[in-house]
């Protein structure tokens, strides 16, 4: 508990923590408003097949695409800020048990990411649906089938990305390197997925921004028929990266 308290003091005393969270909500909700207001034009041009597949819940949650990068930045900074300033050596002198230190960082950062992610997703849904209803578009409520799990999945997905950011920060120990890797994972690989051999396409079922985010929809996607399995597989993969981070953090010099 003392280690958790010490890490909480560091986390909340960093200006970057509050600026990142503020950016998360400003950018996330701003994108929600833009996407919801633009939905009217898309609906007017949509074909009958596209209207059948229209998912107002998923549209109001599209801000996760950028929010995942911001929440990943928060996870990276939890670790790399101490490496950059040399404070990590002081921390490990005060608390020599490295697994305890990293476990405390992970616990606090994931808790913050989960709460912030859930608040953002629920606020985005409750903001986007009235904007679409005002344009006489199909809209949804939290009581509709599949809506509440989809919104909850959005916060869980963001928390997993935050955990991935922490793991990359530990493995690479540099903010720039960890963020570059994170951007490659959540944006670059999904964007060029078509160039990979067919035998590799199975991993995309559990990849962030692809199969990992399928649970944020309420209309079934034929490419991802088991969305919660996809999200669960992504979370297990992130846990695997975290295990590697614990092993490296325990054995490697911190300077």
Give 221's DSSP letter.
B
**pLDDT confidence of residue 202:** 86
The overall longest dimension of the chain from CA atoms, in Å, is 65
Provide the 8-state DSSP code for 22: H
Q: Which residues in the chain belong to E strands, given as ranges? A: none
pTM: 0.93
Residues 53 and 51: their CA atoms lie apart, in Å, by 5
Which pair of tokens denotes residue 11? 């986390």
Question: Exposure pattern of 29-61 as b/e (b: 16+ CB <10 Å)?
Answer: bebbeebbeebeeebeeeeeeeeeebbbbbbbb
Q: How many domains does the chain have?
A: 1
DSSP state letter for 144 = S
In the prediction, which pLDDT does 19 show?
Answer: 94
CB count in 10 Å sphere of residue 199:
7
Model confidence band, residue 255 (pLDDT cutoffs 50, 70, 90): low
Structural domain boundaries, residue 183: 2-251
**Each residue's pLDDT tens digit, 101-114:** 999 999 999 999 99
Q: Is 197 left (phi over 0), alpha (psi -120 to 50) or beta?
A: beta
Q: Is 249 exposed, middle or buried (0-12, 13-18, 19+ CB in 10 A)?
A: buried
| 95-99, 194-198, 225-229: least confidently modelled range | 194-198
Tens of pLDDT, residue by residue over 69-94, are 999 999 999 999 888 888 888 888 88
Cβ atoms of 249 and 102 within 8 Å: the answer is: yes
Query: What is the C-alpha separation between 58 and 69, in angstroms, rounded?
Result: 18
58-74 pLDDT, tens digit each: 999 999 999 999 999 99
Contact in structure between 81 and 7 (CB atoms under 8 Å):
no
Measure the CA–CA gap between 156 and 79, rounded to whole angstroms.
21
Q: Which residues pair with 221 in a beta bridge?
A: 224
């Amino acid at each position: 508990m003392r280690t958790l308290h010490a890490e909480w003091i560091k986390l909340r005393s960093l200006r970057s923590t509050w600026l990142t969270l503020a950016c998360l909500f400003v950018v996330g909700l701003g994108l929600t408003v833009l996407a919801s207001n633009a939905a009217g034009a898309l609906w007017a041009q949509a074909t009958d097949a596209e209207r059948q597949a229209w998912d107002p819940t998923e549209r109001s949650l599209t801000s996760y695409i950028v929010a995942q990068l911001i929440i990943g930045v928060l996870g990276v900074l939890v670790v790399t800020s101490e490496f950059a300033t040399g404070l990590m050596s002081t921390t490990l002198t005060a608390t020599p048990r490295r697994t305890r230190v990293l476990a405390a960082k992970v616990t606090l950062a994931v808790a913050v990411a989960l709460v912030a992610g859930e608040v953002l997703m629920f606020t985005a849904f409750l903001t986007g649906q009235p904007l679409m209803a005002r344009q006489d578009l199909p809209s949804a409520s939290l009581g509709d089938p599949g809506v509440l799990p989809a919104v909850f999945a959005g916060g869980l997905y963001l928390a997993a990305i935050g955990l991935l950011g922490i793991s990359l920060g530990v493995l690479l120990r540099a903010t720039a390197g960890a963020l570059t890797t994170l951007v490659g994972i959540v944006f670059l690989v999904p964007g060029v997925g078509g160039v990979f051999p067919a035998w590799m396409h199975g991993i995309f079922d559990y990849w962030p921004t692809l199969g990992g985010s399928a649970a944020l929809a309420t209309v079934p996607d034929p490419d991802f028929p088991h969305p919660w399995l996809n999200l669960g597989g992504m979370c297990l993969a992130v846990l695997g990266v975290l295990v590697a981070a614990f092993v490296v953090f325990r054995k490697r010099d911190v300077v």
